[in-house]
Amino acid sequence: MGTGQTLQAERIQLPKEHAFRVNVAYQSNGSQRLHYLITPERRALLNTIRYAEGTWKEGKDLGYRTMFGGGVFEDLSQHPNRVVVKFYSSAAAGAYQFIPSTWMAVAKELNLPNFQPQHQDQAALHLVSKRGALKEIDSLGLTHSAMARLAPEWASFPNWAGNSSYGQPVKSHAELAKFYSANLRQLQQQALAS
């Protein structure tokens, strides 16, 4: 890549009717309330975060039950809140490796009743939005800039310099852009075939 070029994952626009069936959060009165629509672009982003965080598991739901270090928990009624000591110590859990304090704050903001996969997806998109990257990804795809905005949230995402914001192992901009593009292409093909 030459100087001044921007690294960006390929993006193809699909009509809104090809957005995925949306999982919803429930308000305390039992009525459904949608927080974030799951479009192919957003699903590809979520899958890319899972890939970077080591919870992709070939897209299987097992990633939603993964703790830091690779262990698995069963109870999705709440965040497991168990510290695992490997090379680092962490209580991160779920597909997006939420630490307990982050999960509790986002679950409260979105009124998420449990740690089920659809709620983890909504919480991750909320964090992406709070970092100011969701609109950019919706319109431009997974850009270098968007990755850098997400680096303070997910240690495996590269900052502008290509490093982890936390000194942990990090995926490269190119590797994440490649995964995002391939996953988005696959999701769009599935949407068009249905």
pLDDT, residue 102, reads: 98
pLDDT, residue 11, reads: 38
pLDDT, residue 160, reads: 95
And the tokens for 34?
């949608």
pLDDT, residue 6, reads: 36
List per-block mean pLDDT (blocks of 10 residues) for the chain, which spans 194 residues: 37 39 43 78 97 91 93 96 92 97 97 97 98 97 97 96 92 98 95 87
Residue type, 71: G
pLDDT, residue 109, reads: 96
And the tokens for 33?
């309330």
pLDDT, residue 4, reads: 35
Chain centroid to Cα 141, Å, comes to 14
Query: Is residue 156 within 8 Å of 147, Cβ to Cβ?
Result: no
Distance CA 22, CA 42 (A): 11
CA angle, corner 55, sides to 80 and 57, nearest 5? 125
pLDDT, residue 34, reads: 62
pTM of the model: 0.83
**Which active-site residues does the annotation give?**
53
- Dihedral-angle region of residue 54 (phi above 0 means left; psi in -120 to 50 means alpha; beta otherwise): left
**Where do we find the tokens 């949608």?**
34
Query: Is residue 23 within 8 Å of 113, Cβ to Cβ?
Result: no
Query: Is residue 119 within 8 Å of 109, Cβ to Cβ?
Result: no
Query: Is residue 150 within 8 Å of 128, Cβ to Cβ?
Result: yes
pLDDT, residue 33, reads: 63
pLDDT, residue 22, reads: 38
pLDDT, residue 26, reads: 44
Domain segments of the chain as ranges:
16-62+114-193
Pairing of strands 84-85, 25-26: unpaired
**Where do we find the tokens 């310099």?**
161
